[in-house]
Amino acid sequence: MATAPFHLMWNMTRRCNFQCRYCYFPHETAPVEPVVPAATLLNFLDATGEEWVVGMTGGEPFLYPDFVELCHALSRRHRISIDTNLSISRLVRDFARQLDPARVHDLYIALHIEERRRKGLVEAFVEDILLLRERGFHLTVNYVVHPQLVAAFRQDREWFEARGVPITPRPFKGFFEGQEYPNAYNAEARAVFAEFPRAGRKMAFNFQGVPCRGGRTLLRLEPDGQLYRCSGEKRDLGNILTDPRRLEWDEPCRARRCPCLGPNYVLLSPAQEALLAGLQAMVTGNSTRAREHFLLALEGDPLLPAAANNLGVLDWETGDREAAAIRFAQALELDPRADLFVGNLAAALAMRGERARALELVQGQMDPAWQTILTPLARQLVTDEAITTWPRLCVDFVPEHRREAMGIPFRLPARQGAEMA
């Protein structure tokens, strides 16, 4: 989108003083060794002639040596944004008193309640938030709603609100018990997000094949100075210490999963915009709006299978299994190579007692060389187990067969493990 700022996401360190159970980072306690001098980073940014938002993330950015001084230096010509667990009170208070809130784009503060309680840091957290707010910083306090924390969220939210700290649910992005979140949230979890439509923006989408400004107005910087197009697409753009560069043109995204700021940087067609709005409404529990958007998406591009599929998921949720099966079949017809549509249609067939037909459909699609999302479904169909993890939403903005025609490979090995930043 044209209004999105120039944004450099700086992953300053992989070290962190917390050990959240859903985090995939190695939990090392050794001091952080700075590799990228502030002057080098500033030279690179200044040479573009643009004002950048330097988004500092990690690990935990406040562990970086002389962090408050670094914030001063960066925020003179550019603005900063920090993704932090806000746990080192001494530095947080220095930051709050010394930095100009006008030069700080935002603070994205993660509560991580289990770990904070374990460390006895809840009271200090509340005090620090109140101080930052009083000083005029724009901040969001987020709560990662891990599938096992859905019930706890409501209680914790009340507790913090009573102390003047509103909290926002943040979708868990990653795998848990074989399912990919946030797409796999059930109705109870989606109800948690219903009051927070912005939370849906934190979903991970598949923009593979969609032109994106990533690499031009959005960049990712690693702790060792390596520059990438973005967090999702690790396209090598040199090292900031020696040979940094940016892409010259908006190019199609080649990553299967956009875990970052992609929705602000991709160039979507009106139908794809509607698909995006539908998915965001869906994750935030607004099924009526989601349906409106998916219908608009399909009207704008009758060949967009994700919209047809997601209408099927909505039909399924209202109990209309026949309508759902028709939509899944429509999606599969539009993109016969997509495993997800095969799985959804097979699940619908199995639910109405046609297990043999469902199994035939799944086995016809499966390549024995690959573990796909269909592998567990085939097992469930063979053993007559209950099918509980289908149907699934589709977050693909370009159908697989079109991506293949663009020379973008698909059918990568399934990803496993939790993912959190």
Q: Please give the residues from 94 up to 113 whose contact with ligand SF4 meets the rule CB under 6 A.
A: 110, 112
**Kind and range of the H or E element at 100?**
none
* DSSP letters spanning 352-412: TT-HHHHHHHHHHH--TTS--THHHHHHHHHHT----S-S----BSS-HHHHHHTT----P
Q: How far is the CB of 385 from ligand SF4 (least distance, A)?
A: 33
Q: Does the protein bind ligand SF4 through residue 174 (CB under 6 A)?
A: no
Q: Does the protein bind ligand SF4 through residue 403 (CB under 6 A)?
A: no
Q: Which of 106, 113, 61 is nearest to 88 (CA)?
A: 61
Q: Does the protein bind ligand SF4 through residue 19 (CB under 6 A)?
A: yes
The span from the first CA to the last CA of the chain, in angstroms, equals: 24
Q: How far is the CB of 258 from ligand SF4 (least distance, A)?
A: 3
Q: Please give the residues from 240 up to 259 whose contact with ligand SF4 meets the rule CB under 6 A.
A: 253, 255, 258
Q: Does the protein bind ligand SF4 through residue 233 (CB under 6 A)?
A: yes
**How many angstroms separate the CA atoms of 111 and 86, rounded?**
8
Q: Does the protein bind ligand SF4 through residue 229 (CB under 6 A)?
A: yes
Q: Which stretch binds ligand SF4 (CB under 6 A): 18-26, 64-72, 118-126, 336-344?
A: 18-26
Q: Does the protein bind ligand SF4 through residue 114 (CB under 6 A)?
A: no
Is residue 169 helix, strand or coil?
strand
DSSP-H helix ranges across 284-373: 287-300, 305-317, 321-334, 339-351, 355-365
Burial class (CB in 10 A: 0-12, 13-18, 19+), 84: buried
**How many angstroms separate the CA atoms of 361 and 352, rounded?**
15
Q: How far is the CB of 260 from ligand SF4 (least distance, A)?
A: 5
Q: Does the protein bind ligand SF4 through residue 20 (CB under 6 A)?
A: yes
Q: Exactly one of 12, 36, 141, 260 binds ligand SF4 (CB under 6 A); which one?
A: 260
Q: Please give the residues from 197 up to 226 whose contact with ligand SF4 meets the rule CB under 6 A.
A: 207, 212, 214, 218
Contact call for residues 16 and 25 (beta carbons, < 8 A): yes
Q: Which stretch binds ligand SF4 (CB under 6 A): 11-19, 67-75, 98-106, 120-128?
A: 11-19
Nearer to ligand SF4, 219 or 342 (CB): 219
DSSP-H helix ranges across 83-206: 89-98, 113-118, 122-135, 150-162, 187-193
Binding site for ligand SF4 (CB under 6 A): 16, 18-20, 23, 25, 58-60, 85, 110, 112, 207, 212, 214, 218, 229-230, 232-233, 253, 255, 258, 260, 262, 265-266, 420
